[in-house]
Structure 1
C-alpha cells in the first residue's frame, strides 16, 4: 500500500516543478534579447543567403552595418544609370521583380515593405559603390541599411573613364538671312490594279490629299490609250505612262503637278520587270524610277535589276518605288535577303516597315539614295488589295518652274475721267516732230501710271470640272462621311458601305463627264477648232523625251568631236608656201607714135 503513495508524491513534485518553470519563463519574457527576427525577415535572409551562395562571384556576405549610419537617410542613387539586361523571363502577375523595383528606384519612388531581400540585394550589386542604399524602405531601425562596397570588376570597366565629347552647336540663322523656299514634294505610291474603273476616285484622292506626285503600278492601260489617264489627271497636272506592249495587265504611270520641271527618261527595257524613269529638275535633278515586277523568276529579276542599278551609278539623287512582289518582311527567305543585300551594296535605304498588302506582306517598297524621305504613312484603301504608301521628299527650289505672271492695266470709265482731268500737256517750243511725239507719249504714260498702274496677275492652277453637279457633290460628301466612319470603327460592314458609295461616285462622275463632252461636241459641230481641241484634250498624251545624260557625258561628247577634228587636220599634208614676187619693174619703154592714137 506504500507504493501508490510514493508515486502520487512524485507526480505532485513534477507538477510543481512545471509550474515553477512556467512562472520563471513568464516572468523573464520581458527581457530584450540581443537579436530579434520575425518570420518574414528570417525568410528574406534565407533567400538572400541562397542567392549569394549561388552567385557567379562565389560565396560572399555583406559586411556589418557601420556604426555611424543615419537610419533616416534616404537612398542615394545615381541618375541615368543604364538598366541591366533581364537574366530570366518574369512570370505573368509578378510585380516585385528586380527590374520593376529598379525602375521604381531610378524614378525616385519608394519600395514596398513586402519587397524581398533577394531582389534588393541584386539591386545593391548593380548599383555598386554608390553610397548607402535602403534595402527595406520604411524600416524603423538601422539594421535594415547596408553599405554597398566596391567589388572587383572582372572586365575592368569604369564609367568614370569615359570622356564626354563636345557636340557641334546648332546653326544659328541670323535675322534677315535668306532662306530657300520650301520645295518639299508629297508623293503617293499605289498599286491600282486597273485605273479604268477608278480613275475619278484616284483624281479625287489626288486633289483632296494635295499630292504632288502619284506613282501608279498595274495601270492596265493599253498602248496608245490614255483616255483613263486623262480622266485621272487634274487640269493643273500632267502624266507619263509606260503601258505593257504585249498581253494584258501591268503598266506604270506617273501623275505630277505642272509646276514641277519633269521629263521622261528613255532607258533600257527588261523582261523581268516594267519600269518608267523620270527626271525632276535640271541643275541638281532627282531621278525617280517606278518599278512593277510581275510574279516570275527571282534570279532573272535580280540580274536585270542589278543592271539597272549599275546604269544609275553616276546619278547623285535617286528614288525607286514600286511593287516588287518580294516579301520584304520575311528575312528568312533567301531571295529577300539577296535583294536587300544588293540594294544595300548600292547604298540605297529602304523606308517601308509595315504590311502593304491585304495578306500581310510588304510588297510595295520605297528606296532612296541621297534624299531625305520622311512622313511615310501606309493607309488602307478599298479599291485595291494593296495599301497606299505616302511620303515626302525634299527637292531643290530649281525643280519648280517659275510662276507664269502677267501684268495688265485695269481701265474702266472712272479711269478715263481721271485721265482727262489730269491731262495738261504743254508741247515744247520746237518744230522737231520726233521730239514732240516723245514728249506727248511720256506725258500720257506718266498720267496712265497714276490712274491705272500695272498689276501683276498669276495664272490660276485650280482644277476645273464643269461636269460636277449637285448630285455628284452630295455623293462625294456621303462617301467621305462613310470613310470617316469606317476609319473610326474598322468594321467590315462600314467598309463595304464606303466601297459601295465610292463606286457610285465614280460611276456618276463618269456619266456626267461623258454627257458634258457629248453636248460640247454637238454644240460646236460646225466649229472645227473647238472640236479638234476637245478631242485632243481627251485622247492625246504629252510627248516628252530626254536622254539620260550628265555633265561628264556632255564633256565626253564634246571632246570626241574636238579630237576628231584634230585628227583630220593632222592627216592632211601641209600646203606648199606661196611664192611672192618682187615689185613690178619697168624694163621696156616704147614711144607712143601718133598712128596708135587714131
Structure 2
C-alpha cells in the first residue's frame, strides 16, 4: 500500500504499532524521538519571569527589592500589636532594608518605653502616637532610620472622634497615617466629614503629602455605598489610591496608599504577604534621597592572583640588594626592607580602595542567632515558592526558633554584663534596657526661656 505523507497525517489514528514492528523501526534508526523540554526549562522560566516582571512594572505593583538605587524604601503594616513581635519587626526592617516602617494597631500606651526600644534596630528611632482613650488597641507608630529625620506634628491638625491619625513630617514630605476602627457607634458619614477636614488641612501644609493606613473599607467592592462615597471624596480633593490587590487574609483591600493625582513621589508599590498578622505589608519606594549610611574605606588586594614563584623571585632579588649595601644603621636597613616588600607587593597585587557600608550589629548578636535567621530565610523561600502546608509549618517553626534564640541571647548577654559591671555602667545598662531618655530637662523653645522658668519656679517656693 502506497500512501503519501499528507494522507498518513490525515489518518491521525490513535492505534499503537505492534511491539515487534516498533522494535524493528528503532533498530533501523528511522523512528522520530519524542519532543521533550529537557534543556529548555531554565530559558522558559527566565522568559516567564521577564514577562511577569514587565507586567508588574506596567501596573506599578512589583516587589520592593527592585527599588531604584538611592530612593527611600518604606512599608505600611497593620501589626495587630507589636508587644509580642519586637524581634519579628526588627528582622523585617533589617532583612528588607527599610528606611521607614509605618505601623497601625500597635496597641502601645504612652509609658511603653521598653517595647519602643525593642522594636528599634541599631541606628533607628521611633515615634509613637498611642490611642487617646483608655480602650485597648489602636495606636500608630513610625520606626525610621535616624538619618531620615521625622517629627510628630499631629497637633497641627484638628482633633477627630471617628478615627486615629498621626502626622509625621520630613523636610521634604508629610506622612499622614490613618487607622479607622472596623466598627463603632459613629456612622460612616462622621468619618467622611472629619477625614475631609483633616485631609484638607494636611494638604495646605508645606511639602508633598502621602496618606496611608488601614481604612477598613472594602475597596475591592466599588459598588458598596461607603466605598463609592470614599472614592468620590478622594476624587473631589484630587487624590488617587495606589494599592491594588488584597491586603487582608479574607481577600479584601483595607490598607491604602493615597497621593495627589499629579504627584509621582511613590515610585513602586507592592503588597507582600506575611504570616505575622491578618494584614499584608505594603512596601513602596519614595522619590526621596536615601539617607547616607556610615561607611568605611578599606584597602583591598587580590592576593589569590599572585604568582608565588615570581613573587618569591622578585622579593629575594630586592632583599639581596639590600644585604649587599654597606650601611650599618639598623633603622635604615629596616626602612629599606619595608620599602622593598611594599613595592614588590604593589607590583604583584596592587592596592585598591573600596567604600563599604558599616552595618552595626547589636552587642548580643551571636553566631547562633545568625544561623537561626539564615535557616528561617531558607524556610521562607521554600514556602513562598511552593505554598504548601508542610513548608508553611516549617517556616513557622523556624520563625519561632529565631525568637527563642534572640531572647536567650539577650538574656545571657545582659545577665553577664550586669553581673560584671560597676555601679555607673549598671545604671547605664538599665537605662538602655528601659529606653530611658538621657535628656532630663523639660522641653523649652530656647535656653533663656528655660532658665527664666527655673528662676520663676524657685522664686515661688523659696521665701
**TM-score class normalised by the smaller sequence:** 0.5 to 0.7
Q: Measure the CA separation in 2 of the matches of 1:542 and 1:490.
A: 45
Give the equivalent residue in structure 1 for 2:277. 384
Q: How does 1:8-19 map to 2 (within 5 A)?
A: none
Provide structure 1 residue ranges, at least 5 long, that are not aligned to the other structure.
1-180, 407-416, 422-456, 547-598
The TM-score normalised by the length of structure 1 is 0.48
Question: 1:330 Cα deviation (Å)?
Answer: 0.9
Question: 1:374 Cα deviation (Å)?
Answer: 2.3
Question: 1:375 Cα deviation (Å)?
Answer: 2.1
- Structure 2 counterpart of 1:336, from 211, 224, 227: 227
Structure 1 residue 247 corresponds to structure 2 residue 135: yes
- Is the 2:294–2:357 contact (alpha carbons within 8 Å) kept by the matching residues of 1? no
Question: 1:403 Cα deviation (Å)?
Answer: 6.7
- Structure 2 counterpart of 1:321, from 188, 212, 226: 212
Q: How does 1:114-125 map to 2 (within 5 A)?
A: none
RMSD: 3.1
Residues 238 and 330 (structure 1), Cα distance of their counterparts in 2 relative to 1, 3 Å cut: same
The TM-score normalised by the length of structure 2 is 0.62
- Is the 1:373–1:393 contact (alpha carbons within 8 Å) kept by the matching residues of 2? yes
- Structure 2 counterpart of 1:527, from 405, 419, 423: 423
Q: Measure the CA separation in 2 of the matches of 1:287 and 1:183.
A: 19
- Is the 1:323–1:365 contact (alpha carbons within 8 Å) kept by the matching residues of 2? yes
Question: 1:543 Cα deviation (Å)?
Answer: 10
- Structure 1 counterpart of 2:96, from 209, 214, 219: 209
Q: How does 1:425-444 map to 2 (within 5 A)?
A: none
Q: Measure the CA separation in 2 of the matches of 1:184 and 1:213.
A: 12
- Is the 1:290–1:320 contact (alpha carbons within 8 Å) kept by the matching residues of 2? yes
Q: How does 1:46-57 map to 2 (within 5 A)?
A: none
With CA pairs under 8 Å and 6+ residues apart, which has the higher RCO, 1 or 2?
2
Question: 1:469 Cα deviation (Å)?
Answer: 2.3
Provide structure 2 residue ranges, at least 5 long, that are not aligned to the other structure.
1-67, 298-330, 336-353, 444-463
Q: How does 1:68-83 map to 2 (within 5 A)?
A: none
- Is the 2:239–2:259 contact (alpha carbons within 8 Å) kept by the matching residues of 1? yes
Q: Please, which moves more after superposition, 481-490 or 261-270?
A: 261-270
Structure 1 residue 188 corresponds to structure 2 residue 75: yes
Q: How does 1:86-485 map to 2 (within 5 A)?
A: 183-245=70-132, 246-267=134-155, 268-281=158-171, 285-296=172-183, 297-315=187-205, 316-369=207-260, 370-395=263-288, 397=289, 400=291, 462-485=359-382
Count of paired positions: 313
Q: Measure the CA separation in 1 of the matches of 2:153 and 2:375.
A: 41
- Is the 1:277–1:287 contact (alpha carbons within 8 Å) kept by the matching residues of 2? yes
Q: Measure the CA separation in 2 of the matches of 1:371 and 1:272.
A: 30
- Structure 2 counterpart of 1:514, from 408, 411, 417: 411
Give the equivalent residue in structure 2 for 1:501. 398
Question: 1:189 Cα deviation (Å)?
Answer: 0.9
Question: 1:511 Cα deviation (Å)?
Answer: 2.6
- Is the 1:240–1:542 contact (alpha carbons within 8 Å) kept by the matching residues of 2? no
Larger Rg: 1
Q: Deviations over 1:203-227 (max 9, x none)?
A: 1111111111101111111221132
Residues 266 and 532 (structure 1), Cα distance of their counterparts in 2 relative to 1, 3 Å cut: farther
Question: 1:401 Cα deviation (Å)?
Answer: 7.0
Q: Measure the CA separation in 2 of the matches of 1:328 and 1:311.
A: 24
> As a proportion of its length, which structure holds more helix?
2
Residues 327 and 543 (structure 1), Cα distance of their counterparts in 2 relative to 1, 3 Å cut: farther
Q: Deviations over 1:334-373 (max 9, x none)?
A: 1111112112222222110110000000001001133421
Question: 1:294 Cα deviation (Å)?
Answer: 0.9
2:258 aligned counterpart, secondary structure: strand
Q: Measure the CA separation in 1 of the matches of 2:411 and 2:160.
A: 38
